[in-house]
Amino acid sequence: MSRVALIDYDRGNLLSVERALSYSGADVDITDDPDRVATAERVVLPGVGAFGDAMDGLRERGLIGPIRQFVASGRPFLGVCVGMQLMFNEGEEFGTHEGLGLLPGRVVAIPAKAADGSNQKIPHIGWNKLCPTRCDDFQGNALLGGIGNTPYTYFVHSFMALPSDKTDRVADCDYNGINICAAVNRNNIWGCQFHPEKSGEVGLRILQNFITMGWQN
């Protein structure tokens, strides 16, 4: 059984993520203990709410260093929703806040106007289709491989990541003509803007992939 540390920093729908990970076969350790995070086999960083507030939650618990340490070890790391946003350099929600800096880029508000100038509904809520950005399909992708031809996942967010390095984008989705960064990856670092734990069978497959993927030391 794969041991996954699920970071508990009091900002996230922890139980939903835990249930889905367990259902997918993981041995989940819900923890805010810096040592258990730094030495876990795999780590998932959930997150719901505001960027700056979420970073405060990690800082208060002394988790920023351990997370960076874990990522440097090369083992699989997955940020979900705000957890993915925190992986970047900075976020603009309620002022500018420093993130974990695991990937270059920033997090900005989803534009209030759609591509055609009409008003957007914010937050972006609902199921949206993942479109591969690195190649034609997700076949062979360690996280998104095997999710089928109609990979819809559940989104609920008002802010979106803007990776500075385009090659870090793995999947996008279209929101009224605006390209939203849906998934990112660089080496062992993975991020999903959507909620795999709320995305039915497609989401469960993604979590299963994360739990079973290998890594290079």
Contact call for residue 142 and another protein (CB under 8 A): no
| Residue linked to tokens 């810096």 | 34
How does 115-132 read in b/e, with b if 16+ C-beta sit within 10 Å?
eeeeebeeebeeebebeb
> Applying CB under 8 A, which part among 34-42, 86-94, 161-169, 201-209 lies near another protein?
201-209
Packing angle between helix 64-72 and helix 51-60, nearest 10 degrees?
90
Clarify whether 90 is annotated catalytic: no
Pick one of 126, 135, 139, 164: the residue that binds another protein (CB under 8 A): 126
* Residue 205 interacts with another protein (CB under 8 A): yes or no: no
CB of 128 to another protein, least distance (A): 6
199 is a site residue for another protein (CB under 8 A) = yes
Q: Beta strands 189-192 and 77-80: pairing type?
A: parallel
Active-site annotation holds for 195:
yes
81, 173, 181, 192: the catalytic one is 81
Residues 59-118 that bind another protein (CB under 8 A): none
Find the binding residues for another protein in span 14-53 (CB under 8 A).
Answer: 15-16, 19-20, 23, 48-50
- For residues 123 and 164, is the Cβ–Cβ distance under 8 A? no
For residues 115, 163, 12, 196, the Cα torsion angle rounded to the nearest 10 degrees is 70
Q: Where are the alpha helices (DSSP H) in 87-169?
A: none
Nearest residue (CB) to another protein, 61 versus 205: 205
* Bridging pattern class, strands 90-91 and 105-109: parallel
Binding site for another protein (CB under 8 A): 13, 15-16, 19-20, 23, 48-50, 119-129, 148-150, 152, 154, 156-158, 175-176, 197-201, 203-204
Q: What amino acid positions are annotated as catalytic residues?
A: 81, 195, 197
